[in-house]
Structure 1
């Protein structure tokens, strides 16, 4: 007797430094998705995340808590968090068992804010104020590039807290320059005017060359309070993880091409169900939303 057809699960792994707004993003995005009719499950993978503002379907603190690890092993916050992630990695059966009853849901994984987990560590969004400082922006570009190469998932980089950007100071260039990561030599010219960074001109020049050689990093500005802003992000994520091309969605070729080419399309036509794989379990289709932050 043939079993039920396995489903392909879609979702987002939300990563980024502490304070970049990952938890706020998960709250805002989950509310937006539910308004569209999608069944959403938010999974908290941060054992240090307390007082969650959203309804949590799975909470890693049920498996391991950062405070308990720090007390028992006499570790600091960074070491304790690394231990927690390694413990989760060693107990993935626990996570699979928790996710199994949630088949058919769209997943949002709220990940820890330790950047090393995404850039260096095998166990595993940026704040717009970095645009006001050329040196910090180059650093952000390097971090984003390293994360994209290390995680190896479809990737969407976000510049969060766009509603606060005017409070951070005047930008040297228009916003498109930062989101599209245009000719970075102009940033080098700005750095050359600073006596401190003038001594590191060759280093910054090589970093900029590396970023431009890969030509992978770009950003989408996000104001989590603005529905149109969230919709633009969701368009990009749905293209990245393939949700908009699901076989059960029966979207017209015109609508699919519109999504693929980046033209506007209407989310009201999205169905609630997830795509079903034709042959075998295709596994989760995940897009990584990286928030650039403090």
Structure 2
């Protein structure tokens, strides 16, 4: 019995040693398996992956969870990285408080437009800032999100603040003359209806439509081309139709023909003989 018991002790000892060796051999594999992967995050954090999938923009395609969150509690306490860890080299990235607008990094372009924002916007929309500076108007005195409120990229209708020049005008007509970031620089094309000009230049339009000359059939933009307030010379169309002596005596066409909008309204001092 003693001899048998001795063999049992030896066998048990051998088994314990073998078990230790086996466990020691698999420990590195076990340790490697416990390292966190991006696919592990969704097991506990369901909302964030869904947000990234729907509105993550480049945060969805360019980085994974572990590229930003480089650790996990309790080993790492501060798991929210600074935006500057990735975003550098642009004036916009140097702004002090990213979270003021980008309140959720998982939906980075779903912006919170609170407070008065202008410098923040111009760091991304530099050409707009240059237009405002080069073309001063009342629009310079308001924050960008005074007009572009609620959601990023929202373009408001002009008529929310500005009364149309006439009853005939609607929102779609505003842009035919005005650009929002340089509103006082009036531009138009050769298809501009004269009735739109009449909204601001009523006297000239009334005179022209009541006039019986060939000018009555011309659109305002036929003569006033290129830019607002451009006044052409009569000679641009008519040349010098009279004898040289008449042009020398009356160097200004208006001395006889009054104004282009009302050619039949002759001034008393220039009335032709017999009139």
TM-score band, normalised by the shorter chain? under 0.3
Higher relative contact order at CA 8 Å, sep ≥6: structure 1 or structure 2?
1
State the TM-score, normalizing by the size of structure 2: 0.22
Higher strand share: 1
State the TM-score, normalizing by the size of structure 1: 0.21
Query: Which structure: larger Rg?
Result: 2
